Chains A and B, each alone.
Chain A
């Protein structure tokens, strides 16, 4: 890289100025940027609630918050992080920005619908803030009835409406992606030439389109009970609260895959680039994404093992839950095989990939513990479960998201961030994460229940470790904000392809022009055409 690089004269960021040019844009790249800003703000809000929870749990007594306040803190932490950060994170930001670029299209199939999705997301956030400022909500992010329908006197209705509306943002994004992948591919880009990121987003979109409507209607039913006094889940009239749990988890279990699948797509892209090898077992990795999406829909009742379902159905759902491990393991093994004899390097995005491997492995394997009936009865509703899903949703999904953000940041902004700081932050996230959540496995196994603001004295050491770790984790998450913002003005110019990566998105300028490609690309070959000696010649390793 000896030539002096310069930013392109004309690109999507300087094509139009002022607020109006952003709010009325149909450019998928600008919409992705607005999602990025929105969900980053929501991530910080969710982090604030998490900090409150960890602060309270420093001491065994409930001496910081009242029990009611604590209930609101963990509830709003969960709702913000799940519905307003994790679910949109990778698809709405990276997927939105990259899908058209990766398939050589000028935009998504329905650009106006894409903008509408963003507005729906914002309206959902407005409802949430309304609830927040009128006192919050304390039902837990799961909204279980009858507590949410008849007992809680907090703002269930506005939050439920916010989640409902944000859900339609998710549905429409998924719909847009499906149609785009089917109908907008560049000439020559057959299905098996697609980057695995695109496959992963296709599987994600299936979940968004098939699962989200079910939680939407569940919220409608909850709403009719709360607002009009209907009784679909009301046990005093013969309604069944467990039905609510079935319907809720029919979406919310697949929702976990909705978070992890796009992150897995990121992993495939980054991994092949920084090991300079094609992905081992491409078609297995591609189909395992679809398999995860399909299997994900038939395991939901593992959340109900102690809710009174029959032993027979519990056994069936236990078995089915085990089966999801197969496509996940297919991915892990193929990724590991990709590293074998690769020309491996350690740039920040790749550090996040290594972090993902470690954390997703622990999160996935402890999922098998929980799918086992006997163990689940023991650890149900304890910190073991909390640790498990944080390993998957934070350790897995956020590591993938951050890795992807680092990987494509030069494409998005045209500039490089500080390599040194970004490596420090990746390491801090990994260390801080484990320090925060590993003690929670032990706490849960010892029997500490979730969702209480006080606990017996003997749990304090591990809880203090966890709270201390969360500080490290928090700094690890804040650092990128600083060096990313710094890079916007002062970062070195990246050039079209700083990582010498093979995808179509790297063939156009950074930042790309509004129409993405000056000339429509034609695709002739397989994805991930890497040869280690090319890497060496490019002085990358």
Chain B
């Protein structure tokens, strides 16, 4: 059912780039594989967070009053500030990818460093929020403290709050680490207009993590703030 073509013929058209791994035929094939792989990975991430969103949905319908009550205890100003910070970091990330595409090394590094800084700002603010929750006894478990009549179910809200934002923060930490490596590689001149896949992939990841927060913010902070 098959015959063979000499490797020379297959490779005839392909220009050998030092970043081309041996098991791919062309740079295009290699890039397509990375891109598809990244999207499939993000799909698994959607389902990973999806389980938590499912639990959130169920309990929010069941215990709406408790959720509204507990949500008012979150710091809306810090939450809004962090939302703006993250949206800003998505912009700097996109500019970084653009700079990598156009082969501007200095610009790439600048925008990537900006992204890292914004990511760290987010994490520090989140840390202060957590600290406050510990101080006032809003961490579910034996030390949980609340005077509202829904104290038991508020614990469900805060369990979800800590699990969801904690997992998101963990993704941010991974993202900052990833971004640091990419920045270092960019500074060393590893990328070019012909090969910038890692920057683009890291960008996809970063945007995804931002997007998760775009959902988390209204779901957790804005349950019933209009009155």
Interface residues of A (CB under 8 A from B): 104-107, 109-111, 113, 171, 175-176, 178-179, 182-184, 186-188, 209-214, 216-218, 220-221, 224-225, 228-232, 236-240, 243, 247, 502, 504, 507, 515, 517-527, 529
The answer to whether B159 and A231 have CB atoms under 8 Å apart is yes
On whether A210 and B43 interact (CB within 8 A), knowing A175-B37, A179-B33, A232-B156, the answer reads yes
The answer to whether B52 and A217 have CB atoms under 8 Å apart is yes
The answer to whether B167 and A220 have CB atoms under 8 Å apart is yes
Contact residues in A for B79 (Cβ distance below 8 Å): none
Contact residues in B for A224 (Cβ distance below 8 Å): 159, 162-163
The answer to whether A214 and B10 have CB atoms under 8 Å apart is no
Interface contacts beyond A209-B43, A213-B47: sample of 11 additional A-B pairs, CB < 8 Å, sorted by A: A109-B23, A109-B33, A225-B159, A230-B140, A247-B54, A502-B1, A504-B1, A519-B6, A519-B7, A520-B25, A524-B1
- Does B131 interact with chain A (Cβ within 8 Å)? no
B5 and chain A: residue at smallest CB distance? A522
8 Å CB contact of A232 from B37, B160, B167:
B160
- Does B142 interact with chain A (Cβ within 8 Å)? yes
Contact residues in A for B62 (Cβ distance below 8 Å): 238
The answer to whether A109 and B37 have CB atoms under 8 Å apart is yes
Nearest Cβ on chain A to B64's Cβ, whole angstroms: 12
- Does B136 interact with chain A (Cβ within 8 Å)? no
In angstroms, Cα B1 to Cα A520, docked, is 14
- Does B78 interact with chain A (Cβ within 8 Å)? no
CB-defined A-B contacts under 8 Å, sample of 29: A107-B23, A109-B23, A175-B40, A175-B44, A179-B40, A183-B29, A210-B47, A213-B48, A217-B51, A217-B52, A218-B51, A221-B52, A221-B55, A221-B163, A225-B159, A228-B139, A228-B140, A229-B140, A229-B142, A230-B159, A230-B163, A237-B140, A238-B152, A239-B59, A519-B5, A519-B7, A521-B2, A521-B3, A523-B1
The 9 closest A-B pairs by CB, nearest first: A229-B141, A217-B51, A519-B4, A230-B159, A213-B48, A106-B23, A213-B47, A107-B23, A525-B1
- Does B81 interact with chain A (Cβ within 8 Å)? no
Contact residues in A for B44 (Cβ distance below 8 Å): 171, 175, 209-210, 212-213
The answer to whether B29 and A230 have CB atoms under 8 Å apart is no
In angstroms, Cα B108 to Cα A385, docked, is 59
Q: What are the interface flags for B155-175 relative to A under an 8 Å C-beta threshold, 1 for contact and 0 otherwise?
A: 110011011000100000000
Contact residues in B for A225 (Cβ distance below 8 Å): 159
- Does B75 interact with chain A (Cβ within 8 Å)? no
The answer to whether A209 and B141 have CB atoms under 8 Å apart is no
The answer to whether A179 and B162 have CB atoms under 8 Å apart is no
Of the listed residues B6, B52, B55, the one surrounded by the most CB atoms of chain A closer than 10 A to its CB is B55
A171 and chain B: residue at smallest CB distance? B44
8 Å CB contact of A521 from B4, B40, B58:
B4
Of the listed residues B5, B41, B140, B162, the one surrounded by the most CB atoms of chain A closer than 10 A to its CB is B140
Number of interface residues of B (CB under 8 A): 48
Contact residues in B for A188 (Cβ distance below 8 Å): 2
The answer to whether A217 and B33 have CB atoms under 8 Å apart is no
In angstroms, Cα B37 to Cα A171, docked, is 12
On whether A221 and B155 interact (CB within 8 A), knowing A179-B33, A524-B1, the answer reads no
The answer to whether A228 and B141 have CB atoms under 8 Å apart is yes
Contact residues in A for B43 (Cβ distance below 8 Å): 209-210
In angstroms, Cα B36 to Cα A175, docked, is 9
Of the listed residues A178, A209, A217, the one surrounded by the most CB atoms of chain B closer than 10 A to its CB is A217
Nearest Cβ on chain B to A238's Cβ, whole angstroms: 4
Nearest Cβ on chain B to A167's Cβ, whole angstroms: 10
- Does B128 interact with chain A (Cβ within 8 Å)? no
B8 and chain A: residue at smallest CB distance? A519
The answer to whether A209 and B5 have CB atoms under 8 Å apart is no
In angstroms, Cα B165 to Cα A127, docked, is 26
- Does B153 interact with chain A (Cβ within 8 Å)? yes
The answer to whether B4 and A232 have CB atoms under 8 Å apart is no
The answer to whether A232 and B163 have CB atoms under 8 Å apart is yes
On whether A213 and B58 interact (CB within 8 A), knowing A179-B33, A519-B4, A520-B5, the answer reads no
Nearest Cβ on chain A to B152's Cβ, whole angstroms: 4
Contact residues in A for B177 (Cβ distance below 8 Å): none
8 Å CB contact of B152 from A107, A237, A521, A522:
A237
Contact residues in A for B152 (Cβ distance below 8 Å): 236-238
B153 and chain A: residue at smallest CB distance? A238
On whether A230 and B141 interact (CB within 8 A), knowing A175-B40, A178-B40, A236-B152, the answer reads yes
On whether A230 and B33 interact (CB within 8 A), knowing A107-B23, A521-B3, A525-B1, the answer reads no
- Does B63 interact with chain A (Cβ within 8 Å)? yes
- Does B49 interact with chain A (Cβ within 8 Å)? yes
Nearest Cβ on chain B to A337's Cβ, whole angstroms: 22
Nearest Cβ on chain B to A149's Cβ, whole angstroms: 12
The answer to whether B1 and A232 have CB atoms under 8 Å apart is no
Q: Which of B71-102 contact A (CB under 8 A)?
A: none
In angstroms, Cα B63 to Cα A358, docked, is 50
In angstroms, Cα B160 to Cα A527, docked, is 51
In angstroms, Cα B14 to Cα A519, docked, is 16
On whether A231 and B140 interact (CB within 8 A), knowing A221-B55, A237-B156, the answer reads yes
The answer to whether A522 and B3 have CB atoms under 8 Å apart is yes
Contact residues in B for A240 (Cβ distance below 8 Å): 58-59
Q: Which of B96-120 contact A (CB under 8 A)?
A: none
Nearest Cβ on chain A to B20's Cβ, whole angstroms: 12
In angstroms, Cα B33 to Cα A176, docked, is 9
The answer to whether B45 and A213 have CB atoms under 8 Å apart is yes
The answer to whether B140 and A183 have CB atoms under 8 Å apart is no
Contact residues in A for B3 (Cβ distance below 8 Å): 521-522, 524
The answer to whether A214 and B36 have CB atoms under 8 Å apart is no
In angstroms, Cα B21 to Cα A184, docked, is 13
On whether A529 and B156 interact (CB within 8 A), knowing A183-B29, A212-B44, A214-B50, the answer reads no
In angstroms, Cα B44 to Cα A171, docked, is 8
8 Å CB contact of B2 from A106, A107, A178, A524:
A524
Nearest Cβ on chain B to A79's Cβ, whole angstroms: 20
In angstroms, Cα B51 to Cα A455, docked, is 39
The answer to whether A110 and B37 have CB atoms under 8 Å apart is yes
On whether A183 and B33 interact (CB within 8 A), knowing A232-B160, A236-B152, A238-B152, the answer reads yes
Nearest Cβ on chain B to A298's Cβ, whole angstroms: 15
8 Å CB contact of B7 from A229, A520, A524:
A520
In angstroms, Cα B49 to Cα A186, docked, is 36
Contact residues in B for A520 (Cβ distance below 8 Å): 4-5, 7, 10, 25
The answer to whether B40 and A237 have CB atoms under 8 Å apart is no
Contact residues in A for B139 (Cβ distance below 8 Å): 228
Contact residues in A for B29 (Cβ distance below 8 Å): 183-184
